Amino acid sequence: MTLGSTYQADARDRFAPFMALDRLTTEQRDELLHGGTDMHRGGELCACFGVSCGAVEAAIADGATSLAAVGATTQAGTNCGSCRSEIRALLRAARLVKAA
Ligand code: FES
């Protein structure tokens, strides 16, 4: 039975290092179970530069408080602009969390 006609080489490459280990650390187990590190999580937000949602969230957590600041850090939103509304939504969500 074939589940799909294509496979993701990135996913295979991400799993390869884990296969060589006898035992996983907590961090390695979390990375494996959650689909990658923070920088890879959440899927691709900016198609122009291949920036993940996690990378934008990390930039915001590191102090980027505006669309321009996120763009300066990650390049997300600095080309076609179609991802800017998603970046703004993440900025708003971060402001709400910070205010709470
Ligand atoms: S998709 Fe982000 S700038 Fe084009």
Residue with the two structure tokens 């294509």: 6
Interval between CA 51 and ligand 1 midpoint (Å): 9
The answer to pTM > 0.85 is no
Task: Give yes or no for residue 17 CB within 6 A of ligand 1.
Answer: no
Task: Give yes or no for residue 51 CB within 6 A of ligand 1.
Answer: no
Q: pLDDT tens digit string along 16-72?
A: 777 778 888 887 777 777 666 656 666 789 999 989 898 999 999 999 999 999 999
Task: Give yes or no for residue 39 CB within 6 A of ligand 1.
Answer: no
Domains of the chain (ranges plus CATH)? 44-99 (1.10.10.1100)
DSSP string, the chain: --S-S---HHHHHHHHHHHT-SS--HHHHHHHHTTS-TTTTT-EEETTTTEEHHHHHHHHHTT--SHHHHHHHH-TTSSS-TTHHHHHHHHHHHHHHHH-
Provide the token pair at 49.
């530069």
Which ligand 1 atom is nearest residue 75's CA? 3
